[in-house]
Structure 1
Amino acid sequence: MIAKALTETHALAFNDARPWSEQEFEELLKQNRVTLIGDAQSFILARQVADEIEILTLATHPSLHRQGYSTKNLENLVTQARENDASTIFLEVAADNRPAIALYDKAGFAQIATRPAYYARTHGAPVDALILQKKLDPA
């Protein structure tokens, strides 16, 4: 149920890349270290290992863009991360995804590395992945 709705939003949010399948979402949601922040229309899927949290994906339905949903989801993730004694949140974002980069920059993430030609595109050349990180102060 929820996996199907997440799949639909993810496909709309990432229209120039291979969207995640319903099965991929189902498998991730079964893992006890994976958490879903938000709802099917705007969400973050993240995984905690030791004191690090990786944002696996963040997506918002296009009709809800620029309304603060992703910002609120990130704030909620940071709060939860601190409650779970995480010291770092990291993620990969496509170098051409300017709105996402701006969102993460505003939230205090900094680039720590690049993965050249990491993301395949439906149309055009592969795109670099920027690895971003946010260090957390203790709660």
Structure 2
Amino acid sequence: MRWWDIDQVLELEKELFPEDTWSRGMFWSELAHSRGPNATRRYVVAEEDGRIVGYAGLAATGEQGDIQTIAVARDHWGSGLGSRLLAELLRAATDFECTEVLLECRVDNVRAQKLYERFGFEPIGFRRGYYQPGNVDALVMRLSDPAASVTPVTPVGPVPPATEDDGVEGTETHG
């Protein structure tokens, strides 16, 4: 993601997260930490025909990575784009030498939770009333050893179709 992507990212952000939209300044601040030898952030976009159809971001602090956001345009849900964005963030976490990656996800966003579980994330707790308005709880999930999880974990039992649950709505940390 570059500064010139912010306008399109904000349009998608407002569409997907109308009550919890990041501001232009928040994206600028994150991007300010994504370049140079002391970079601690990695933000990526997915484009199709000049249109941004997805974006994702990771913050790294020491050995811990934190997925800040993943969003996929509704017309690309089920396309596998969520998996590709997540894999890119896990590669970035590996490059940052993170030994674990955390994220928060709305408890009612089951599609995203299933995606994260396929990559090996496990629930470790809740943050009560984390998402406002609405006072919706966040499920906190952790992935140990992101380097080993760049590809999804094959579930035990029947394997769902490849496109199932790849339409991640998003997971955001605004705190």
TM-score normalised by the chain length of structure 2: 0.71
Query: Per chain length, whose mean CA-contact separation is higher, i.e. which structure has more relative contact order (CA < 8 Å, sep 6+)?
Result: 2
Number of aligned residue pairs: 135
What is the root-mean-square deviation of aligned Cα atoms in Å? 1.6
Matched-pair contact (CA < 8 Å) for 1:10–1:60: no
Residue segments in structure 1 that go unaligned for 5+ positions in a row? none
Residue type of the partner of 2:142?
Answer: Q
Structure 1 distance, partners of 2:119, 2:87, is 8
Structure 2 distance, partners of 1:107, 1:127, is 24
Alignment of 1:45-124 (within 5 A): 45-121=57-133
Out of 4, 8, 12, which is 2:11 matched to? 8
> Does residue 25 in structure 1 map to residue 32 in structure 2?
no
Q: Which residue of 2 aligns with 1:35?
A: 42
Matched-pair contact (CA < 8 Å) for 1:48–1:54: yes
Structure 1 distance, partners of 2:26, 2:116, is 25
Matched-pair contact (CA < 8 Å) for 1:12–1:62: no
Residue aligned with 1:79, SS = helix
Structure 2 distance, partners of 1:137, 1:22, is 29
> Does residue 134 in structure 1 map to residue 143 in structure 2?
yes
Moved more, 78-87 or 51-60: 78-87
> Identity across aligned pairs (percent)?
23
Structure 1 distance, partners of 2:99, 2:76, is 30
Moved more, 99-108 or 126-135: 99-108
Residue aligned with 2:22, SS = coil
Q: Which residue of 1 aligns with 2:152?
A: none
Residue aligned with 2:29, SS = helix
Residue type of the partner of 1:68?
Answer: G
Residue segments in structure 2 that go unaligned for 5+ positions in a row? 34-38, 47-51, 149-175
Structure 1 distance, partners of 2:59, 2:146, is 19
Structure 2 distance, partners of 1:135, 1:43, is 23
Distance 1:110 1:97, change over 3 A: same
Moved more, 5-14 or 67-76: 5-14
Could you tell me how far 1:79 is from its partner in structure 2? Answer: 2.2
- Please identify the structure whose Cα radius of gyration is greater: 2
Residue aligned with 2:101, SS = strand
Residue aligned with 1:41, SS = strand
